């Protein structure tokens, strides 16, 4: 099985290059991450992030045959050879498949991703009906892998100004939470030509999300709410 | 070497580390949290089923019943002062997480959803209790993200992708900070701190088949051991009954809590024979052993009769999609079955380390010294899976680990505040303080070597798997120790090819393997020494629990010697639960 992997070590290389690796194996049940570990056992200089190996920690996002995804839940059998692996697009490369995620996290932090409720907390839980809680399904499951945001051209052009799909999904997660009291501040913060409105609904994010989440729909709901509050 | 100064250094950004960080940052202290991965990548994220606390939202409940179950679940090895504290604090820390924003699932009346879990009872061993609070089957994910979010708000200072190398101590044994490796730059960093808190999580990667993430390499245990601190009760490893056959990925006990059950090759619901009362919701050690016996005696499933099946389709489509969506995702991806229609093939899989760095119930690390078996190490704390408080004793109950993180994260932070008030300045760091850490780093600059790290890593896991698994025996353990010694010598002769400074993961993995090796040795030596069966430590050659000789904690030192200390049978305020025969 042939792999073609993006390599760049700023310590040693003048410019990036693609390196081929061959593994004698049957795809069988293996995930792409399993193959990368076998490659790394041969060539320990290949750098990548990995942790949970079950698609919940978000470490091993990369560009796989042109599409962003998680190596640990991408079956080898689903991939055409040669399997071409590159770092996530739109973020500075630190080394090989490892990118600098800071521009992504900075946008995430900018939406105040925490519950704001200024009432004194009750002695027990705040109540929320199962229907109200169901509004958070499809939102809170985000693993911050950046597959969506780094597949979005609007983020590539304006990473410092456009919040991006992952951040906006979380903005909606807090607006949608009946326990949160900061809806109007949150909307004010996003009412800006760039932060929210650079989304043109091309839905690359939906296609890229390895967890099956739908940032475009969440962005639509934020926009809808903004329209409603002005009329 | 670059130097930074903080009030507190916290190593690890999982549930425990971030709960403590939140408390200290909110109190106005200058806190550095070092993590070798971005905080939401920490392994707390993989916890599924829930967090146990006696809220009584579904059935009447009482923290004392929870305490009884935990003491019994620990096979009486747990320290009852710590267990009382944890169970009493349970409701408070769960409500607090709800106030912080954790998206718990809800009951019709709007309260936090709770599900039954293994080893839970009402009224001291009576009917099944319903005590585990859940956010679907993604409770750990929801908790970890909520804690990270609150720390953003509290402006906690994170050092992301910094691997802690070793503690810095002075001649009196005080801990003055830590040396870490900046993984992106490849440079060491000295963090000077008046208090250092280890929250580095588990070390399940010592086994070949494990539910644990790649990052669970016992870094805090390695650091403690190298600093002369013994490791407590390392023979007690939990094998989770339901890891996906082959892949090892966890399938939550919540599946059985929601009504799922195990069947063997004959289609028999075999847990009825092993635990007539609690059946599939007996203690995890009991269920894991039952599965191992079924497979060993030829009653497994599949062409190789090497697993059993976890059946849940009868729970119903809507319930599964609502309460167990993550499990369905995992089963589809890793077992290629849709649990809406077919059972999941499972085997017992290494999951959780009950042992760890010895602490008292307020998180301070305690070691045997002149004054007795539990003298505090000034400036050093440990919490979460890397610590042994000990609330889990010889077997942890499901849902008690997330609780452990929050309760002792908070308790340690409170004790640290007192310690900081009593110690407004820290003693100077001696010139040779960082030497141990720098030598560890320099060792992997060596270019000549006859062994490869990946080979030694794989062999160590194989040795632990086949010599220190669910069932243990003297000859097998002794042979394992000899093989492990050989593996350690090979590690001494190993070198890496990658000598780049930038994000050198070969070097990180080599340093991690050194920590795993410390953990593996402590584990197998402690297991060979304990000639009884208790909780998760099952000896074929000593099948009975022996309270007369073994109601005591093991302390394994880095030099290979083993010591013991008494179990704390006296709770803080309530009467003790004396050891009795443990049946479910």
The answer to whether the peptide bond before residue B373 is cis (omega within 30 degrees of 0) is no
pLDDT at residue A131, as a whole number: 98
Whether the predicted pLDDT of A82 surpasses 90: yes
pLDDT of residue B152: 98
Q: How confident is the model over B233-248, as a mean pLDDT?
A: 97
Shortest distance, CA A207 to any CA of chain B (angstroms):
17
CA distance B349 to B307: 11
Between CA B433 and CA B428 the distance in angstroms is: 10
Instruction: To the nearest 10°, report the CA torsion of B400, B35, B148, A167.
Output: -130
* Partner-chain contact A56 B149, CB within 8 Å: no
Residues 202-221 of chain A with CB under 8 A from chain B are none
The pLDDT score that the predictor gives to residue A27 is 64
pLDDT band at B287 (very low <50, low <70, confident <90, very high): very high
Mean pLDDT (whole number) for B325-338? 96
Mean of the pLDDT values across residues B166-185?
Answer: 96
As a whole number, mean pLDDT of residues B15-22 equals: 98
Contacts of B316 (CB under 8 A, 6+ apart): none
- Separation of alpha carbons B222 and B383, rounded Å: 15
**Between the CA of residue B15 and those of B11, B148, B260, B546, what are the distances in Å?**
12, 9, 28, 35
Asked if residue B60 has pLDDT above 90, the reply is yes
Using a pLDDT cut of 70, give the percent of chain B over it.
100
With an 8 Å Cβ cutoff, are B138 and A141 in contact? yes
Tens-digit pLDDT profile for residues A152-176 = 999 999 999 999 999 999 999 999 9
Which pLDDT score is estimated for B376? Answer: 96
Token reading at B397:
């109950």
Q: What is the pLDDT of residue B259?
A: 96
Chain B nearest CA to A213, separation (Å)? 13
Q: Give the span between the Cα atoms of B394 and B237, in whole angstroms.
A: 8
Q: Is B440 a catalytic residue?
A: no
Is B369 an 8 Å CB contact of chain A? no
DSSP B258-282: TT-EEE-TTS--THHHH-TTTGGGS
**Distances, alpha carbon B146 to alpha carbons A175, B50, B152, in Å:** 15, 15, 10
Give residue B569's pLDDT. Answer: 98
Q: Which of A116, A122, A141, A146 would you mutate first to test chain B, the one with the most B CBs within 10 A?
A: A141
CB contact under 8 A, B106 and A49: no
**Is the pLDDT at B127 greater than 80, yes or no?**
yes
Minimum Cα–Cα distance from B217: chain A residue: A51
Q: What is the mean pLDDT of residues B108-136?
A: 97
> Contact B101/A41, CB-based, under 8 Å?
no
Q: Answer yes or no: is pLDDT of A52 > 80.
A: yes
Partners of residue B509 in chain A, C-beta under 8 Å: 44
* Closest-CA residue to B352 (of B567, B536, B551, B516): B536
**B:303-332 residues touching chain A, CB 8 A cutoff:** 326, 329-330
Cis peptide before A82 (omega within 30 of 0): yes
Q: Return the H-helix or E-strand segment holding B5.
A: strand B2-11
Q: B492: which residues sit within 8 A by CB, 6+ positions away?
A: none
Binary contact (B454, A44; C-beta < 8 A): yes
CB pairs A-B closer than 8 Å: 154
Please determine, for residue B202, whether its predicted confidence score (pLDDT) is greater than 70.
yes
The residue extents of the domains of chain A are 2-99, 102-230
CA distances from B343 to A55, A224, B309, B328 (A): 21, 43, 6, 11
Q: Which one of the listed residues B284, B328, B490, B568 is annotated catalytic?
A: B284
Q: Could you say which of B135, B213, B506 has the minimum Cβ distance to residue A52?
A: B213
Q: How close A106 comes to chain B (CA, Å)?
A: 11
What percentage of chain B reaches a pLDDT higher than 90? 99
Judge if pTM exceeds 0.90: yes
pLDDT one-digit tens code per residue, A25-48: 876 789 999 999 999 999 999 999
**Average pLDDT score, chain B:** 97
Nearest CB to A52 within list B46, B91, B96: B46
B502 interface with A at CB cutoff 8 Å:
yes
pLDDT higher than 80, residue A231: no
CATH superfamily of A102-230: Alpha-helical ferredoxin (1.10.1060.10)
Q: Do B452 and A41 touch (CB under 8 A)?
A: yes
- DSSP state letters, B355-423: -BEEB-TTSEEEEEETTEEEEEEEEEEE-GGGEE-SSSTTSPPTTHHHHHHHHHHHHHHHHHHHHHHH-
CATH number of A2-99, picked from 3.30.465.10, 3.40.50.1370, 3.10.20.30, 3.90.1170.50: 3.10.20.30
Please give the Cα distance from B83 to B90 (Å, whole number). Answer: 10
Contacts of A9 in chain B (CB under 8 A): 500, 502
């Amino acid at each position: 099985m042939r792999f073609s992997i993006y390599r760049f070590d700023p310590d040693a290389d003048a410019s990036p290059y693609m390196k081929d690796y061959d593994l004698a194996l049957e795809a069988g049940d293996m995930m792409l991450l399993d193959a990368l570990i076998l490659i790394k056992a041969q060539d320990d200089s290949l750098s990548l992030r990995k942790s949970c190996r079950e698609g919940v920690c978000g470490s091993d996002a990369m560009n796989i045959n042109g599409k962003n995804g998680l190596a640990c839940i991408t079956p080898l059998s689903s991939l055409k050879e040669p399997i071409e692996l590159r770092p996530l697009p739109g973020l500075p490369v630190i080394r090989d498949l490892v990118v600098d995620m800071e521009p992504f996290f900075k946008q995430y932090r900018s939406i105040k991703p925490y519950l704001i409720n200024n009432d004194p907390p009750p002695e027990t839980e705040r109540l929320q009906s199962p229907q109200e809680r169901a509004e958070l399904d499809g939102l809170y499951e985000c693993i911050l892998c950046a597959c969506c945001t780094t597949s979005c051209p609007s983020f590539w052009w304006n990473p410092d100004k456009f919040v991006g799909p992952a951040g906006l999904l979380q903005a909606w997660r807090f607006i949608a939470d009946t326990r949160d009291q900061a809806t109007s501040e949150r909307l004010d913060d996003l009412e800006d030509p760039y932060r929210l409105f650079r989304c043109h609904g091309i839905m690359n994010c939906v296609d890229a999300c390895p967890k099956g989440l739908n940032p475009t729909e969440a962005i639509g709901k934020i926009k809808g709410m903004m329209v409603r509050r002005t009329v | 070497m670059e130097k930074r100064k903080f009030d507190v250094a916290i190593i690890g950004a999982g549930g425990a580390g971030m709960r403590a960080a939140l408390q200290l940052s909110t109190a106005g202290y200058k806190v550095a949290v070092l993590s070798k991965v971005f905080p939401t990548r920490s392994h707390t994220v993989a916890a599924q089923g829930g967090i146990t606390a006696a809220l009584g939202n579904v059935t009447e409940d009482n923290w004392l019943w929870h305490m009884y179950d935990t003491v019994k679940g620990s096979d009486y090895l747990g320290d009852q002062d710590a267990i009382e504290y944890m169970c009493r604090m349970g409701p408070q820390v769960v409500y607090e997480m709800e106030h912080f924003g954790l998206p718990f699932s809800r009951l019709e009346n709007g309260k936090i959803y709770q599900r039954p879990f293994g080893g839970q009872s009402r009224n001291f061993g009576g009917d099944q209790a319903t005590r585990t609070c859940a956010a679907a089957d993604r409770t750990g994910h929801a908790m970890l993200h909520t804690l990270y979010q609150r720390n953003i708000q509290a402006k906690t200072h994170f050092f992301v992708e910094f691997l802690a190398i070793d503690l810095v101590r002075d001649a009196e044994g005080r801990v003055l900070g830590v040396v870490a490796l900046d993984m992106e730059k490849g440079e060491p960093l000295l963090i000077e701190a008046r208090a250092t808190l280890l929250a580095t999580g588990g070390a399940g990667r010592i086994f070949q088949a494990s539910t644990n993430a790649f990052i669970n390499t016992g870094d805090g245990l390695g650091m403690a051991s190298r600093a002369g601190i013994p490791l407590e009760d390392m023979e007690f490893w939990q094998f989770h009954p339901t890891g996906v056959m082959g892949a090892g990925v966890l399938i939550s006990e919540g599946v059985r809590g929601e009504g799922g059950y195990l069947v063997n090759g004959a289609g028999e619901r075999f847990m009825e024979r092993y635990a007539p009362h609690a059946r599939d919701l007996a203690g995890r050690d009991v269920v894991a052993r039952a599965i191992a016996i079924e497979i060993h005696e030829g009653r497994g499933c599949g062409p190789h009769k090497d697993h059993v099946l976890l059946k849940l389709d009868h729970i119903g489509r809507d319930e599964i999609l609502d309460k167990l969506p993550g499990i369905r995702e995992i089963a589809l991806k890793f077992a290629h079955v849709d649990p809406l229609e077919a059972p999941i093939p499972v085997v017992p899989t290494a999951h959780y380390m009950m042992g760890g760095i010895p602490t008292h119930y307020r998180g301070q690390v305690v070691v045997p010294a002149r004054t007795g078996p539990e003298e505090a190490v000034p400036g050093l704390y440990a919490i979460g899976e890397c610590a042994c408080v000990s609330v889990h004793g010889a077997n942890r109950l499901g849902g008690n680990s997330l609780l452990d993180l929050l309760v002792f994260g908070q308790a340690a932070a409170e004790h640290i505040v007192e310690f900081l008030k009593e110690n407004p300045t820290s003693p100077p760091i001696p010139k040779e303080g960082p030497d141990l850490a720098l030598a560890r780093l320099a060792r992997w600059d060596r270019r000549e070597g006859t062994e490869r790290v990946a080979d030694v890593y794989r062999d160590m896991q194989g040795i632990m798997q086949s010599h220190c698994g669910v069932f243990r025996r003297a000859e097998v353990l002794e042979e394992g120790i000899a093989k492990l010694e050989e593996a350690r010598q090979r590690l001494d002769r190993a070198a890496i090819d990658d000598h780049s400074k930038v994000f050198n993961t070969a070097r990180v993995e080599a340093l991690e393997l050194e920590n795993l090796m410390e953990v593996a040795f402590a584990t197998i030596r402690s297991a060979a020494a304990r000639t009884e069966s208790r909780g998760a430590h099952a000896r074929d050659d000593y099948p009975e629990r022996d309270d007369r000789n073994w109601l005591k904690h093991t302390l394994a030192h880095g030099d290979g010697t083993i010591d013991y200390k008494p179990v704390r049978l006296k709770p803080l305020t309530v009467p003790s639960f004396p050891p009795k025969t443990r049946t479910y």
